[in-house]
């Protein structure tokens, strides 16, 4: 059964670059996200207190951050009140930046992101603001709207 995000879920956290601009560290927190069965009837799934983290190799410039190869991360929290921890693949970190703001996307899963005996794919599309415009010191803050295409396979 597949699931889709029932409504937008807010995320907070950071995407920061090392001083060389070659490695991005991702930390995201989602307080609550509900997923509805798709298509049709079925039970909903509720993720709460979820923390996503990863470190991936990237190419970066003043206007672009792009992941170079698949990475791995950690996702932990509660699914329907039951604690879980998973070590999913992390892919497709891409950011477009301009004048102190931008848009980033990143995916955690599928296949290796398991919670509640199911494989999940959580894809984020977030608005970011930059602490400084230089790629070597870039810290992307105030991650907003999360969860563009979150689903279970």
pLDDT tens-digit map of 48-98:
999 999 999 999 998 999 999 988 899 999 999 999 999 999 999 999 998
Max Cα distance, the chain (Å): 50
Each domain of the chain, given as residue ranges in start order, spans: 2-152
Residue 6 is encoded by which pair of tokens?
A: 């029932």
**42 or 134, higher pLDDT:** 42
d(CA 106, CA 135): 19
Look at residue 4 and tell me whether its pLDDT is greater than 70.
yes
Please state the separation of Cα 63 from the chain's center in Å. Answer: 20
Residue 59 is encoded by which pair of tokens?
A: 């190419």
Residue 120 is encoded by which pair of tokens?
A: 């999940």
Nearest to 27 by CA among 149, 143, 144: 143
pLDDT tens-digit map of 5-45:
888 788 999 998 899 999 999 999 999 999 998 887 778 89
Tokens 């608005």: give the residue. 127
pTM, whole model, 2 decimals? 0.82
The pLDDT value given to residue 138 = 36
21 close to 138: Cβ distance less than 8 angstroms: yes
Residue 107 backbone dihedrals phi, psi, to 5 degrees: -125, 135
């Amino acid at each position: 059964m597949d699931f889709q995000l029932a409504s937008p879920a807010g995320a907070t956290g950071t995407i920061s670059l090392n001083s060389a601009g070659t490695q991005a560290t991702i930390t995201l927190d989602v307080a609550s996200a509900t997923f509805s069965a798709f298509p049709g009837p079925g039970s909903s799934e509720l993720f709460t207190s979820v923390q996503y983290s990863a470190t991936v190799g990237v190419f970066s410039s003043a206007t672009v951050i792009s992941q170079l190869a698949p990475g791995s991360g950690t996702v932990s929290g509660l699914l329907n009140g039951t604690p879980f921890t998973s070590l999913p693949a992390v892919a497709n970190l891409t950011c477009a930046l301009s004048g102190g703001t931008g848009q980033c996307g990143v995916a955690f899963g599928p296949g290796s992101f398991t919670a509640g005996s199911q494989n999940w794919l959580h894809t984020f599309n977030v608005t970011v603001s930059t602490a400084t415009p230089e790629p070597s010191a870039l810290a992307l803050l105030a991650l907003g709207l999360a969860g563009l295409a979150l689903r279970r396979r």
